Structure 1
């Protein structure tokens, strides 16, 4: 199995589907949840399937079993953190508008790098309805900003200061809303708690940049992707196969 999810698939409650043992389903989800701390390629799939623990059906169970089959073929994969003396913060944010088929709410995804090392990632269903893809991305940027500011605060305890932290998004309209000081009809209905990032943009703490969808690393946390796309993204995220052969190659690269 080359992907944890069927490409472009979206699950729903499956109200007409045949119910399965919820205890068994919850046990499988509980086992997989531990992996979200070390396997970013599984985060989106596991978090999505975890929503259906109250009344799982055969369709949900089949989807979860696919993750286990995927794991069987990628059991040696994990995050590789090479030795590096330089430190810088970078962040990516994305959203899948109306990604949830049941609530019609969007999914936010964010990831943060310390230089080239992925150190934080998330995939969460948004708590409010977004009426447009721009609004969904706007909310996702807010969540990503909150995380990067917390990391900045923690690193300051070690004497490390960061400003002009680049944050990448593939929605130009959302970036324009963040950088535009004038409140207008496109954003006046959005909850005030999402507007705090503007202050940090104005003060030069955060810098927003547009990134083409092809290089949006956040896609793996908001969408069910195909094999080629997943392989491209997990490589960019720093995942490697830790077989004896590849470990030797990686350590040789570090020694060079």
Structure 2
């Protein structure tokens, strides 16, 4: 804990009394009798301040955080340390976990899990940090002294980063290399075999094409840290993982049962789709208000579920837009999602082993579907063979002037995700250049392929045009697909039960 004290002078000079003078004493004899006032209103800015109000050395040059030298221990006891805010530690994205499992299903190896006991206590901090002597353990000979922290402690800001650096250094000393994009991924190769280690704070999952490499890794970790070996991976970051000889199944059916019980939906009637088709949610200003806390709690619970349930993604995002002042109509829409979950509680993602390992993506957009501001909704999904790795459902930041613009913005968003997966898979040893992105809008494909069309797209923000550059560099390939076969359609609007079920099956969701 760092100490914060207030100086005894300057602007922190205690409470002011009404009778005390604040600032300099005015000399009323040194004033003009007449003062010319400009008829044009002007804004006065005081750029000069008394030196007594300046914190730090006023004669020193402007310095960035990286240039500041470590302050003395006495100075650090009075103010925040230079690394006070720089305490982040890399955390794996959920897409990275699904990608890891997809690769494991393709290669046919088993994924294992282990946990580090009291992980943060292994970290060593480089900053100067001091803590009070804990109550009941004060040294009577030195009651006013503080402890200098050498090892990280739970609750210390620097603890997560210190632990990550300790683990990272240890793994790299033992032949692993860190991922280029994902810094929580560690790779080790021996001839034609590969071993992967994915770290999420103190939870570690790992697997290899050669079983002996996993055994060797476990022994190595046990020698350095106190570990709990948990065997085959069955549960990670809220995802239930079922490993079978013919593939891997990812679901959250236990969580579905928990939230149905939490919100008392165990005995409700079921629904075959999560949202009504052709009936968009509106602001409904004249509607009956509902408990905002309950509404937000339900939305939060459903958002957590979308880690393995893309089938409810659009419905949840649509309802989440009304969390400020939810009405009864919005609550009924949320209840419909729960009714659908009651109907399909065990639905999950299936990663078949016999599917090829090729990256491809689907992009789609509605046009002005958001009733509040007439913005369009971006939908996109990325596959490795028949394994759904990531998906997006997001309201666009601009109001599209045409369906072409809405589809173009969605395609650019999908392209960005494709580039991330391409770079991630380079660490796995795969080069997915010229990835196919399926788009159901001919005009959007023309704009991407033909720079001459720029005269008709000048109103589109420049940041979306990077997809053209990716196309010219052959990083992606845009393919025309019929709307009926564009599975990203599931993430942009509601459907009747027949079309909805077709799309759910098409993205690789099933009951196991």
Instruction: State the match for 1:34 in structure 2.
Output: 304
Partner SS state of residue 141, structure 1: helix
Instruction: State the match for 2:378 in structure 1.
Output: 108
Instruction: State the match for 1:213 in structure 2.
Output: 483
Q: Radius of gyration: which is bigger? A: 2
The 5 A counterparts of 1:111-130 are 111-130=381-400
Quick one: which of 345, 352, 367 aligns to 1:75?
345
* Aligned residues: CA RMSD: 1.0
**Cα offsets for 1:84-140 (capped at 9, x unmatched):** 474210000000110101111000000000111101001000001100000000000
Quick one: which of 456, 462, 467 aligns to 1:197?
467
181-190 or 100-109, which deviates more: 181-190
In the TM superposition, what is the alpha-carbon distance from 1:14 to its structure 2 partner?
1.1
Instruction: State the match for 1:154 in structure 2.
Output: 424
Instruction: State the match for 1:179 in structure 2.
Output: 449
Pick the structure with more helix per residue. Answer: 1
Partners in 2 of 1:241 and 1:230 — Cα distance? 16
Instruction: State the match for 1:141 in structure 2.
Output: 411
199-208 or 221-230, which deviates more: 199-208
Question: Which consecutive residues of structure 2, in runs of 5 or more, have no partner in the other structure?
Answer: 1-270
Partners in 1 of 2:479 and 2:422 — Cα distance? 19
Name the structure, 1 or 2, with higher relative contact order (CA <8 Å, separation 6+): 1
84-93 or 227-236, which deviates more: 84-93
Partners in 2 of 1:65 and 1:85 — Cα distance? 36
175-184 or 92-101, which deviates more: 175-184
Instruction: State the match for 2:435 in structure 1.
Output: 165
Question: Which consecutive residues of structure 1, in runs of 5 or more, have no partner in the other structure?
Answer: 243-256
In the TM superposition, what is the alpha-carbon distance from 1:18 to its structure 2 partner?
1.0
Partners in 1 of 2:320 and 2:375 — Cα distance? 16
Partners in 1 of 2:341 and 2:414 — Cα distance? 28
Give the TM-score, by structure 2 length.
0.47
Partner SS state of residue 471, structure 2: helix
Partner SS state of residue 173, structure 1: helix
Partners in 1 of 2:414 and 2:355 — Cα distance? 25
Instruction: State the match for 2:366 in structure 1.
Output: 96
**Cα offsets for 1:154-204 (capped at 9, x unmatched):** 111122111121100110001100000225332111111000111111122
Instruction: State the match for 2:287 in structure 1.
Output: 17
Give the TM-score, by structure 1 length.
0.92
